[in-house]
Structure 1
Amino acid sequence: MTTQYGQSVILPRSDRSVITEWRRSVDWQIIAASVTLLALGLVLSLAAGPPAADRLGYDDLYYFVKRQSVFAGAAVIVLFGASLLNRTWARRGAAIIFCVSLVLLVAILIFGHEAKGAQRWIQIAGFTIQPSESVKPALIILSAWLLAQRQLYPGGPWAIVALVFFVVTLGLLLLQPDVGQSALLTAAFMVTFFISGMPWKWAAAFIGGGFALCLSLYSLLPHVRYRVNSFINPSDYDTYQIDKASEAISRGGLLGAGPGEGTVKSSLPDAHTDFIYSVLGEEFGYVAALALIALYVFICWRGLRGASQVRDPYPRAAAAGLFALFGLQAAINIAVNVSLIPPKGMTLPFISYGGSSMMGIALTLGLGLALIRRQTITGRRRYV
């Protein structure tokens, strides 16, 4: 803090205001890396947005760029706002968000907007909302809190309640169907579940159930079967998007073709959303692509490191699950772009275009930051 004459003002240690405590305790390195990602997302929206707008018939070529700017500004507010919460209010807020998101997930099945064979969005007051983005971090925090209650009240059915919440959420996602988000949520939930100290014998049940579910989805959902088969035998199927993404990354080489010089993006469907990483690879090259991966790794490392230093079981497990959720989403999107796994229809955190995705990721990181903040009073507590 500085005066109008440029002299520094040191805040007294007796200052216990919410903002002062937040400034002293929040992980500024994660915030800096997150804001950097948002800035990179705006730069890439300038590269991928105009061709996408032209291809989709918008009169304003900067339609997606302008909306992405609004989403990025809102994401900053959500990120900072959520990080201001203490651990009790983080859990209370997550409970409210979870209940509202579940209602919206049910509403989607009745009134939802269908696109590309899936019913994942609902239109409210002119805005399209995807509740799956907000239900994920909310479920992780709520589950971690429930599982932590086993140490305070050993006789309660806390693990069963957490599993019921997970199964209900998973079922609603699969009814849309949204297999990618379901897999991501399952992985993050398992991280939270086992860090909470659940016995390893549950791992066999999770793995067995997951394997059976995968076989069922492969048998029952034609689009899942098509994506898996086209990944295994690409020569027998239409793999246009993956081929174009690979072509873009290959064309970029080490340093890229140059800002705005990419050509593949004009013919690549979803270049501004699911395949924006390939746009980065073509225009800025392997060096920039690896630097972006390093940013994601840094955020996850800082977050998991911070979670490991928390003594209380609820915030420790919740924070680990949230940062795992963030990192896994980035890893899945990048893996699809470089043809390591079948397409999942998942955005690249803070980079891809999309309001619901941007808000969900900002909420995830903001709550994660709130949970790993250095507390004035340490030790195990009862969170109500």
Structure 2
Amino acid sequence: MTTVPNPHSNAHAFARSDRTPLGVWWWTVDRWMLGVVTILIAIGVVIAFAASPAAAARMNIGDPFHFAVRQCVFAVAAMAVLVSISMLDVKGVRRAAFVIWLAAIAVMIALPFIGHNAKGATRWIEFGGFTFQPSEYMKPALVILVAWMFAEGQKGQGVPGVSIAFGLFAVSVALLLIQPDVGQTVLITVAFGAAFWMAGVPMSWVMLLGATAVAGLSSTYFLFPHVQSRVDRFFSPEKADTHQVDAAAIAQAAGGVFGRGPGEGVMKRKVPDLHTDFAYSVGAEEFGLVFQLLLVSLFAFVVVRGLMRAMKLSDPFEQIAAAGLFVLVGQQAIINVAVNLNMMPTKGMTLPFISYGGSSMLAMGLTMGLALALTRRRPGAYAPNEGLAKAGAYS
């Protein structure tokens, strides 16, 4: 007997009545955000295939698609991390952040003794052909913890939330500067400042923190030779070797509006870090201005929609934490694109979901997973007048 399909059947992967963990997750997560992040990861894989042959040839690796295959593995792993973490409830988010921060800090303490040194910095641990950068995972965990402490401090129940938050931040910054990693320090400082401001502290405190941060950042010019070198190259390019930035600029210009075409880029062979820090330039040459505008638009969608969702949350902790995570993603994307466009000194910072790298990809999966977990629809999560508690709000 032939079964006639019901034209009114639910076209979604899960029925609304499905109360399994995966079914509940599907109907409460922001599916628009999830879709855009999936597109970004897919674009990262495409860029990896474009950049891999040139990168492999430069490093004398026999397999031209060595980096592309590994990026595919990282992409699948990042999606698995993102989905699993985004299924957590709010308590689970706090517990996960606490464990991740402690583990990352423990590894960062051990880096001077067991870490791998590259380009004058000790930020990674090598094992089994892979490199692990603990600071990548520390960042989102720290944002969650300081948001938690700021929210507890607001309750006025004797918990020194602000003091604890500053203590967590100070420990994290100190260990980053030991490596040294000024770029990551800037990221967490801005995210911390954003959380501090959103916690409702007096503006005078925010201004004091900002002035301290500017003074601290300025001091790195005199404390770290590599920072001084990068700043000098940026402001006096005629007096220094700016080959990598110049090659990236030429590659972007060569792409025009629609690009040379997939695999047809040639300037990428002259960019040493083409598959990591300068993956944006590889995409610009092969896919043109259209690619650049699309990529910027996708990141803008993630950040703006994320901040809008965060501001509508009812709980102060969830609001501060979610907003801080989206600020973290947004500023990292802005810094990487600005470096590629020669608008600021090089930072050695990856473009989220696009640049090659296991630590970066998995950490971004963790960051977005935490953000999606906090912005899921739950009873009482959103103010009633926002209409987000109604079924189908994310449909």
Name the structure 1 match of 2:386. Answer: none
What does 1:1-384 correspond to in 2, within 5 Å? Answer: 7=6, 8-9=9-10, 15-378=18-381
Equivalent position SS for 1:58: coil
Equivalent position SS for 1:121: strand
Q: Partner letter of residue 65 of structure 2? A: Y
Name the structure 1 match of 2:387. Answer: none
Residues 12 and 31 of structure 1, relative CA distance in 2, 3 Å threshold: closer
Q: CA deviation at 1:215?
A: 2.6
Q: Deviations over 1:235-254 (max 9, x none)?
A: 11111111001000011111
Q: Deviations over 1:145-188 (max 9, x none)?
A: 11111233443211010001001101101111111111011111
Residues 281 and 12 of structure 1, relative CA distance in 2, 3 Å threshold: closer
Q: CA deviation at 1:378?
A: 4.0
Q: CA deviation at 1:123?
A: 2.3
Aligned residues, how many? 377
Distance 1:197 1:18 in 2: 35
Distance 1:310 1:193 in 2: 17
Q: Which shows bigger deviation, 118-127 or 355-364?
A: 118-127
Residues 92 and 341 of structure 1, relative CA distance in 2, 3 Å threshold: same
Q: Which shows bigger deviation, 359-368 or 205-214?
A: 205-214
Q: CA deviation at 1:128?
A: 1.4
Distance 1:245 1:13 in 2: 49
Equivalent position SS for 2:131: strand
Name the structure 1 match of 2:389. Answer: none
Distance 1:308 1:117 in 2: 41
Q: Deviations over 1:7-34 (max 9, x none)?
A: 4359776654322321111100111001
Distance 2:129 2:272 in 1: 25
Q: CA deviation at 1:287?
A: 1.2
Q: Which shows bigger deviation, 134-143 or 258-267?
A: 258-267
Distance 1:12 1:338 in 2: 46
Distance 1:108 1:26 in 2: 37
Distance 2:208 2:167 in 1: 15
Q: Report % sequence identity.
A: 46
Distance 1:254 1:318 in 2: 38
Distance 2:156 2:19 in 1: 33
Gaps of 5+ in 2: 384-395
Q: Partner letter of residue 49 of structure 1? A: S
Distance 2:80 2:46 in 1: 20
TM-score normalized by structure 2?
A: 0.92
Q: Deviations over 1:286-308 (max 9, x none)?
A: 11111110000001111111101
Name the structure 1 match of 2:393. Answer: none
TM-score normalized by structure 1?
A: 0.95
Distance 1:13 1:199 in 2: 45
Residues 265 and 73 of structure 1, relative CA distance in 2, 3 Å threshold: same
Gaps of 5+ in 1: none
